[in-house]
Structure 1
Amino acid sequence: MTLKVDAGGEDRQVPSPPTDRVVAVMHLLGGDPERSFSLAEISRRLGISRATGHAILATLAAHRWVVRHESSASYSWGPAIGALARPTHDREFRSFLDGLSEAVGAQVFLARREGATLIVTDSVGHSLTAPRVTAGLRMPLVAPFGRDYVAWAGEQAIKEWLAGIGEPSVELRRRLIAVLAQVRERGYVVERLSREYVRVYLALRALAADGEPDEITSRLAGAFADLALVDYLPDELCSGDEHQIATISVPIRDSDGVVTMSVTAAPFRGLSTEEIRVIGAAVRDVARQIEECD
Structure 2
Amino acid sequence: MLGLDGAHSSEPLVKATPSPPTDRVLGILELLASRPEQALSLSDIARALGMNKATCHAVTASLAGADYLTRNPIDKTFMLGPALVAAGRAAEKAYPAVHLANAEVVALAEELGMQATAAIRSEGRLVIVARAGTGAEAASVRIGRRIPLAPPFGGVFVAWAGRAVIDDWATRTERTAPREQLLDSLAAIRMRGYSVERLTPAVVQLRHALADLGDDPLADGLRPMVMALLAELRQAEYMPGDLQDHGRHAVSALSAPVFDGEGRTQMNLSLQPHREMSTRDIERAGRRLLEGCGRITQAIGGKPPAAFAART
Q: Are 2:298 and 1:288 aligned?
A: no
Deviation of the 1:141 alpha carbon: 1.0
Q: Are 2:101 and 1:93 aligned?
A: yes
Is contact 1:116–1:141 with CA below 8 Å preserved after alignment? yes
CA distance in structure 2 between the aligned counterparts of 1:260 and 1:226, rounded to whole angstroms: 27
Name the CA shift for 1:162/1:228 in 2 (closer, same or farther; >3 Å): closer
Q: Which one of 58, 63, 67 corresponds to residue 17 of structure 2?
A: 58
Name the CA shift for 1:281/1:92 in 2 (closer, same or farther; >3 Å): closer
CA distance in structure 1 between the aligned counterparts of 2:122 and 2:9, rounded to whole angstroms: 9
Name the CA shift for 1:111/1:167 in 2 (closer, same or farther; >3 Å): same
Q: Which one of 183, 194, 197 corresponds to residue 191 of structure 1?
A: 197
Q: Are 2:10 and 1:34 aligned?
A: yes
Indicate the residue corresponding to 1:239 in structure 2: 245
CA distance in structure 1 between the aligned counterparts of 2:133 and 2:104, rounded to whole angstroms: 12
AA of the residue aligned to 1:276: I
Q: Could you list the per-position Cα deviations for residues 80-99 of structure 1 after superposition, in whole angstroms to 9, with x for gaps in the alignment?
A: xx999625995443332222
CA distance in structure 1 between the aligned counterparts of 2:100 and 2:197, rounded to whole angstroms: 26
Secondary structure at 1:97 match in 2: helix
Q: Are 2:128 and 1:152 aligned?
A: no
Name the CA shift for 1:37/1:198 in 2 (closer, same or farther; >3 Å): closer
Name the CA shift for 1:226/1:196 in 2 (closer, same or farther; >3 Å): closer
Is contact 1:139–1:208 with CA below 8 Å preserved after alignment? no
Deviation of the 1:274 alpha carbon: 1.2
**TM-score if structure 1 supplies the norm length?**
0.65
The 5 Å alignment of 1:117-156 reads 117-127=125-135, 129-132=136-139, 133-156=141-164
Q: Relative CO higher for 1 or 2, CA cutoff 8 Å, sep ≥ 6?
A: 2
Name the CA shift for 1:290/1:102 in 2 (closer, same or farther; >3 Å): same
Secondary structure at 1:160 match in 2: helix
Name the CA shift for 1:251/1:116 in 2 (closer, same or farther; >3 Å): same
Percent identical across equivalent pairs? 27
Secondary structure at 1:201 match in 2: helix
Q: Which has the higher strand share?
A: 1
Secondary structure at 2:251 match in 1: strand
Name the CA shift for 1:285/1:208 in 2 (closer, same or farther; >3 Å): farther
Structure 2: tracts of 5 or more residues without a match: 1-7, 24-86, 301-312
Structure 1: tracts of 5 or more residues without a match: 1-31, 40-56, 65-81
Secondary structure at 1:156 match in 2: helix
Deviation of the 1:62 alpha carbon: 8.8
Q: Could you list the per-position Cα deviations for residues 76-117 of structure 1 after superposition, in whole angstroms to 9, with x for gaps in the alignment?
A: xxxxxx999625995443332222222211111111111111
CA distance in structure 2 between the aligned counterparts of 1:273 and 1:229, rounded to whole angstroms: 20
Deviation of the 1:186 alpha carbon: 0.4
CA distance in structure 2 between the aligned counterparts of 1:263 and 1:201, rounded to whole angstroms: 18
Secondary structure at 2:17 match in 1: helix
Deviation of the 1:240 alpha carbon: 2.1
Count of residue pairs brought into register by the alignment = 226
The 5 Å alignment of 1:141-290 reads 141-166=149-174, 168-169=176-177, 172-204=178-210, 209-210=215-216, 212=218, 217=223, 220-221=226-227, 223-226=229-232, 229-290=235-296
Name the CA shift for 1:61/1:38 in 2 (closer, same or farther; >3 Å): farther
**TM-score if structure 2 supplies the norm length?**
0.62
CA distance in structure 2 between the aligned counterparts of 1:165 and 1:213, rounded to whole angstroms: 15
Is contact 1:119–1:138 with CA below 8 Å preserved after alignment? yes
CA distance in structure 2 between the aligned counterparts of 1:229 and 1:244, rounded to whole angstroms: 15
